[in-house]
């Protein structure tokens, strides 16, 4: 499977994660959704796309489901950390780097990244099953 298709699958999976985020925030904090969505897209660009391109689809399609949960849950906080590090570096304030007052972002990052990675894994498995049955 080529890199363009893998990035496309990852983008579709990000939409699934964003949909869950929107449903969670819809009732009380729907005004915050655009900010969280922007952070999710930045995280996807900083962590999701490189991860998708670094690991072959064939390898990821054979990973057991519990490991998908662990990988997905780890990618979100990594993305948040990188986003803040990049933002502080761009401002020339890397020595002042702090994660103070970011506690509300971490659970949402875990949620979006886990749902997105599970959707990505599902798309990979679907594609490999489809190609396996068509090849027979």
Q: How many CB atoms within 10 Å of residue 12?
A: 13
pLDDT at position 47, please?
A: 92
Q: What is the pLDDT of residues 3-17, one digit of tens each?
A: 999 999 999 999 999
Q: 110: Cβ–Cβ under 8 A, 6 or more apart, which residues?
A: 73, 76, 77
Q: What is the pTM of this model?
A: 0.85
Q: What is the pLDDT of residues 39-60, one digit of tens each?
A: 888 888 999 999 999 999 888 8
| Average of per-residue pLDDT across 50-73 | 91
CA–CA dist 76, 47 (Å, integer) = 8
- Determine the longest span between alpha carbons in the chain, in angstroms: 59
pLDDT at position 66, please?
A: 93
């Amino acid at each position: 499977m080529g890199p363009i298709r893998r990035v496309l699958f990852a983008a579709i999976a990000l939409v699934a994660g964003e949909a869950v985020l929107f449903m969670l925030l819809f009732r009380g904090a729907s005004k915050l959704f655009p900010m969280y969505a922007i952070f999710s897209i930045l995280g996807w660009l900083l962590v999701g796309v490189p991860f998708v391109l670094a690991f072959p689809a064939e390898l990821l399609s054979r990973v057991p489901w519990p490991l998908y949960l662990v990988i997905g849950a780890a990618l979100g906080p990594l993305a948040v950390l990188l986003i803040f590090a990049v933002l502080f570096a761009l401002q020339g304030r890397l020595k002042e780097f702090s994660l103070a007052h970011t506690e509300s972002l971490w659970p949402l990052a875990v949620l979006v990244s886990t749902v997105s990675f599970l959707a990505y894994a599902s798309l990979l498995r679907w594609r490999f099953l489809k190609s396996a049955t068509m090849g027979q």
